[in-house]
């Protein structure tokens, strides 16, 4: 029987989520994609569900639809995130030409950014857990190097609330690993550094070629940004039996930028 995976934030062809969905399909999985970017659904085979993952009702509808179509859930990958392009209103907008700090952001910005980056993963994990517990499975959450080192003020298109939310993802992962381990459900986290996605391209148009959303690109010891394919390959591996005894872990993929 084919394993069934849900991947959130996977509809944009230049995103990590899209590459993860493709990688899981290549692994033989049935994949359900959840996103607000419906324009990307045509490029994906299988089930695509318009979902606002910051809304627990919308998440419940996603889970119900997946069960109706496939009858089970084995894998959940939470790829939705960002400081912008995370609501239906701003999904197709360029990044804001500013940095939103913790002391100067609007309360609405705080709630929106935490909703898309942290609440969303909690809602999806909570809703999928009863089905994952039936036979075991894997959850992979996406954090960020920003959770390790913060984001320097002046990093255009990014925000302090994003760094806080992504730190919360690491704690969410550890706690879920403790709660779900006895059911054979592994929960891990991947914390990418700067990745050459479509989102990065839009930020660089705003900030200049040497300043990414987490700071100057020249400070990355490996001398380059990561690729979508590199990040996706790691995430897919954490969904497979090759990592069957690995849980509660955050894996960094950032070219040593955290260590610098």
**Mean pLDDT per 10-residue segment, the chain (260 residues):** 97 97 98 97 96 98 98 98 90 88 96 98 98 98 96 90 98 98 98 90 75 71 94 98 98 86
Catalytic residue list: 162
pLDDT attached to residue 172: 98
89 domain residue, yes or no: yes
Q: How many domains does the chain have?
A: 1
171 domain residue, yes or no: yes
Q: What CATH number is attached to the domain comprising 56?
A: 3.40.50.720
259 domain residue, yes or no: no
- For residue 98, give its domain range: 4-253
What does pLDDT average to over the chain?
Answer: 94
The β-bridge partners of 188 are 140
156 domain residue, yes or no: yes
- Rounded CA gap, 127 and 124, in Å? 5
258 domain residue, yes or no: no
H helix intervals, the chain: 16-26, 56-70, 107-114, 120-135, 146-149, 160-180, 198-207, 228-238
């Amino acid at each position: 029987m084919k394993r069934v995976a849900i991947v959130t934030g996977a509809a944009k062809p230049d995103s990590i989520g899209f590459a993860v969905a493709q990688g899981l399909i290549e692994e033989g999985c049935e994949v359900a994609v959840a996103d607000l970017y419906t324009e990307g659904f045509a490029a994906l085979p299988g089930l695509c569900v318009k979902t606002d993952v910051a809304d627990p009702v919308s998440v419940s509808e996603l889970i119900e639809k997946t069960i109706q179509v496939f009858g089970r859930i084995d894998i959940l990958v939470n790829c939705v995130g960002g400081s912008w392009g995370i609501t239906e209103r701003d999904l197709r907008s360029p990044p804001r030409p500013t940095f939103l700090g913790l002391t100067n952001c609007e309360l609405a910005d705080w709630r929106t950014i935490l909703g898309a980056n942290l609440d969303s993963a909690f809602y999806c994990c909570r809703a999928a857990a009863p089905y994952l517990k039936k036979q075991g499975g894997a959850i992979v959450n996406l954090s960020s190097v920003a959770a390790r080192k913060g984001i320097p003020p002046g990093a255009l298109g990014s925000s302090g609330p994003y760094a806080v939310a992504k730190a919360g993802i690491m704690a969410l992962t550890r706690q879920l690993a403790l709660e779900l381990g006895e059911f054979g459900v592994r929960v891990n986290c991947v914390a990418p550094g700067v990745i050459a996605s479509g989102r990065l391209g839009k930020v660089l148009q705003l900030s200049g070629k040497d300043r990414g959303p987490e700071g100057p690109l020249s400070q990355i010891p490996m001398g380059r940004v990561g690729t979508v394919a590199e990040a996706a390959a790691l995430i897919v591996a954490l969904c497979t039996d090759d990592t069957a005894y690995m849980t509660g872990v955050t894996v960094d993929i950032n070219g040593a930028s955290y260590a610098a």
